[in-house]
Chain A
Amino acid sequence: MKKTLKHCESYQEHSKQFQELGEYLDSLQIDQRNPRRKDTLIMTLHRAQMIFGYLPEEVQLFIADRYGISHADVSGVISFYNFFTVTPKGKIQVNVCLGTACYVNGADQILAEFERILEIKAGQVSADGKFSIESLRCVGACGLAPVVTINSKVYGKVKVSQVREIIERFLTEDLEVEEVSHA
């Protein structure tokens, strides 16, 4: 079955989120005949991921339609960047940098320790939707290698022995701070 915008039924369910994205797109004043209209696509995808938490197919179709570009176009851009995800991530997103500097400083063992404690592999989300782990390439903080980020917090010169403590501290202190600041 061929899919078009018409076939997407989840708009109603998430209508508030689609409304927010729609308003953002309105503010960009996209000219569908401008060959350079795609220049703001990455920004829009960032915003959409902020709103939805991930970029499901119906969001991609919605964006493609508003830009007057193909779904394939949007999908190709998403697939290029590690940051974008088409599957939901956990509420607490652990990112372990595996860039060269981090890797030679033992980042693979850090990643393994997170995987062991949280009982999920990189790329997976825990059953309760609370945690997800990703590995990524270079966050631009090589001086702090090995680097781990949890949501927007950055941890430098991480040792395997600190991993459990980092998780526990994040759960008790940082998560509360985050929730307060979002409220």
Chain B
Amino acid sequence: MINLTIDGNHVSVPEGTTILEAAQKVHLDIPTLCYLKLEKSKYLNQVASCRICVVEVEGKHNLAPSCATPVFEGMKVTTNSKRVLASRRKNLELIISNHPFECLVCAKSTDCELQKLVWEFGINTQRYTGERSSHPIDKTSSALKRDPNKCIMCRRCETMCNTVQTVGALTAFGRGFHTVVTPAEKMPLAESNCVYCGQCVSVCPTAALTGVGYIQDTWAALFNPKKKVIVQVAPAVRVAIGEEFGMPPGQPVTGKMVAALRRLGFDAVFDTTFGADLTVVEEGKEIVERLERKEHLPILTSCCPGWINFLKYHFPNLDYMASTCKSPQQMTGAVIKTYYAQKMGYDPQDVVVVSVMPCIAKKYEAALPAEQTYGIRDVDLVLTTRELAKMIKEGSMDLRHLPDEEFDDPLGRSTGAGVIFGGTGGVLEAALRTVYEKVTGKELVDVNFTAVRGLAGIRETEIDLEGRTVRVAAVSGLGNTRKVLEKIESGEEKFDIIEIMACPGGCVNGGGQPYSEERDEIIEQRVRGLYHLDRGTTIRKSHLNPSVQELYTSFLGEAGSHKAHEVLHVQGLLEEEVCPEYQPQ
């Protein structure tokens, strides 16, 4: 152990600890900006570029960045001397001298870490003016927006994209003042190998990287008397949106959220969890068939568009392994515009499907031409959890004070299996609950497959299907995914079923979820919230969802039927062109 003093406090820490971490031990809150550590995601950004966390070390001439300076025996650190405070302040003033002063109308206002620091430092004047960066704003993608003028060169996005996700879409381009974080060759995002996982958005301290917003389009649809506007909500949203209203993370607020959506004017409030159950039944059929024929194994789940993009761009030779099933979002949309519209006597052209997702990539997925049914887009507008929270606030509501209401029938009915889709391992567990019964013909008594739960990046186990042992894995984070796929490619490992989610921890940690500085704890709480909901439901197997059964009986026929393929499966996974945007009339 190394002994040192920080502001007169004696601290004992293991060798290799940074001053910042040692200071946290004695509850000293040294301000940081570029630094970020997320243990659950194995993420560490320690470039020491912003110089906000500098401290004075006795005997050293220069101020030390506390985030990247290891402690030594007998070290004496001062975190709040005149020199330290003056230096931090000047550094921050220099950073904002090259930052647009449009905070009032900025998408990140009140969630911006730069803004927060400026506020905490009490900086109320713009001391330095000079040359400003001027780069074009990249709006080429339907999911992600890049505004390099708001970038403070913290490099958090690069670390996330290149080190954790191993996508490699971003680089620092150029040198000195003209450096800009951009895809290769300054190409637009839409042409780059970006998979739109949105993890860069969740670590960006400013609004340099944000999701493309669809709030105004949603209001326009809601206020259009000719349109039937139907909303669906993903499972991960209900255990996170409460945070935006000061409720504890992970606390399920399903009923209040449904009440809010109804009061916003949606004609029907449906549950993407229904689509999840449908996915399990449809994909379960595919799994059973492939297991029987022993071909195209392992089957890779296809619920996560960030992951599917990763597969397309980085492992195109393995793309035949992916399930052809649409994701729950797209299945729900397709069923709304076919089965439900027919049942209600609506013209599908007049139906607008809005989905609320914890995700950035879902915005991209909804716009893909392969994601249509009978020539009509399955999902028109995709909002993030954050965007819905804003709409609820704009709509004069406080989630905390709303009553608990139920989803509408029939696409609001779901099972515990559908709910756990929101976290890593959930899709696999839900599929196993169904596949077990389909393969063995026996009732599954204990539905808990605890071996596939947890937040470790890769979890593998073997499941006994009464005579046939299947090897399964649940993977989250694209860096972990790369490791697994490389082993499959080389033949080093063999699996039967693999669930993959692009975001570390799964959808609960999606790029569209409420921003938080304590993400590690929050992810755990959100996952716990999902399993809590699962335990509280009476039906915990997707194929027993009565609405799903009814849908097959009266509309689709049986799982894997021709009709089911037309509505619930993707036609041509590799199609790239984006279909026409939703136009409000």
Measured CB to CB, the residues of A under 8 A from B are 1-4, 6, 57, 60, 69-76, 79-80, 86
CA distance A34 to B193 in the complex (A): 23
Asked if B320 is at the interface of the complex by the 8 Å CB criterion, the answer is no
Beyond A70-B167, A75-B171, 10 additional pairs, beta carbon < 8 A:
A2-B312, A4-B313, A72-B162, A72-B170, A72-B192, A73-B171, A75-B185, A79-B173, A79-B174, A80-B174
Asked if B172 is at the interface of the complex by the 8 Å CB criterion, the answer is yes
CA distance A57 to B191 in the complex (A): 13
Contact residue range for chain B?
20 to 34
Contact A57 B168 (CB under 8 A): no
List the 9 closest A-B pairs by CB distance, nearest first.
A70-B168, A76-B171, A75-B184, A72-B171, A71-B184, A72-B184, A79-B173, A79-B174, A75-B185
CA distance A35 to B56 in the complex (A): 34
**Interface 0/1 of B159-190, CB less than 8 Å to A:** 00010000111111111000000011101000
Residues of A within 8 A of B174 (CB): 79-80
Contact B169 A70 (CB under 8 A): yes
What are 7 inter-chain pairs, A to B, with CB distance below 8 A? Answer: A4-B316, A70-B169, A72-B183, A75-B171, A76-B172, A80-B174, A86-B185
CA distance A86 to B174 in the complex (A): 13
CA distance A86 to B430 in the complex (A): 51
Asked if B576 is at the interface of the complex by the 8 Å CB criterion, the answer is yes
CA distance A79 to B185 in the complex (A): 8
Residues of A within 8 A of B187 (CB): 3
Chain A: minimal CB distance from B197 (Å): 15
Residues of A within 8 A of B313 (CB): 2, 4
Q: A2-B193, A2-B313, A60-B184 are in contact. Are A73 and B173 (CB under 8 A)?
A: no
Residues of A within 8 A of B183 (CB): 72
CA distance A76 to B175 in the complex (A): 9
Q: A2-B576, A70-B169, A76-B171 are in contact. Are A60 and B162 (CB under 8 A)?
A: no
Contact B193 A71 (CB under 8 A): yes
Residue of B nearest to A86 (CB): B185
CA distance A13 to B116 in the complex (A): 55
CA distance A86 to B167 in the complex (A): 23
Contact B172 A2 (CB under 8 A): no
Contact A60 B185 (CB under 8 A): yes
Q: A75-B171, A76-B171, A80-B175 are in contact. Are A70 and B162 (CB under 8 A)?
A: yes
Chain A: minimal CB distance from B576 (Å): 6
Contact B576 A73 (CB under 8 A): no
Chain A: minimal CB distance from B217 (Å): 25
CA distance A3 to B185 in the complex (A): 12
Residue of B nearest to A6 (CB): B316
Residues of B within 8 A of A3 (CB): 187, 191, 193
Q: A1-B191, A57-B185 are in contact. Are A76 and B168 (CB under 8 A)?
A: no
CA distance A1 to B193 in the complex (A): 10
Q: A1-B576, A2-B576, A80-B175 are in contact. Are A71 and B168 (CB under 8 A)?
A: yes
CA distance A153 to B174 in the complex (A): 28
B167, B171, B191: the one contacting A2 at CB < 8 Å is: B191
Chain A: minimal CB distance from B137 (Å): 19
Residue of B nearest to A4 (CB): B313
Most A CB contacts (10 A, CB to CB) among B162, B170, B185 go to: B185
**Interface 0/1 of B308-334, CB less than 8 Å to A:** 000011001000000000000000000
CA distance A80 to B312 in the complex (A): 30
Residues of B within 8 A of A2 (CB): 191-193, 312-313, 576
CA distance A57 to B187 in the complex (A): 11
A69, A70, A76: the one contacting B173 at CB < 8 Å is: A76
Chain B: minimal CB distance from A18 (Å): 19
**Interface 0/1 of B193-227, CB less than 8 Å to A:** 10000000000000000000000000000000000
Q: A2-B193, A4-B193 are in contact. Are A75 and B173 (CB under 8 A)?
A: yes
**Interface 0/1 of B516-533, CB less than 8 Å to A:** 000000000000000000
Residues of B within 8 A of A80 (CB): 174-175
CA distance A79 to B192 in the complex (A): 17
CA distance A73 to B173 in the complex (A): 9
Residues of A within 8 A of B162 (CB): 70, 72-73
Residues of B within 8 A of A69 (CB): 168
Residues of B within 8 A of A73 (CB): 162, 168, 171
Residues of A within 8 A of B576 (CB): 1-2
CA distance A76 to B313 in the complex (A): 20
CA distance A87 to B191 in the complex (A): 20
CA distance A76 to B192 in the complex (A): 14
**Interface 0/1 of B228-240, CB less than 8 Å to A:** 0000000000000
A72, A74, A79: the one contacting B169 at CB < 8 Å is: A72
Residues of B within 8 A of A72 (CB): 162, 168-171, 183-184, 192-193
Contact B175 A79 (CB under 8 A): yes
CA distance A4 to B312 in the complex (A): 10
Residues of B within 8 A of A75 (CB): 171, 173, 184-185
CA distance A3 to B194 in the complex (A): 11
Residue of B nearest to A76 (CB): B171
B172, B184, B192, B316: the one contacting A74 at CB < 8 Å is: B184
CA distance A6 to B316 in the complex (A): 10
Residues of A within 8 A of B167 (CB): 70
Residues of B within 8 A of A6 (CB): 316
Chain A: minimal CB distance from B170 (Å): 6
Residue of A nearest to B172 (CB): A76
Residues of A within 8 A of B171 (CB): 70, 72-73, 75-76, 79
Chain B: minimal CB distance from A97 (Å): 17
Residues of B within 8 A of A74 (CB): 184
CA distance A74 to B484 in the complex (A): 25
Residue of B nearest to A70 (CB): B168
Most B CB contacts (10 A, CB to CB) among A69, A80, A86 go to: A80
Chain A: minimal CB distance from B223 (Å): 36
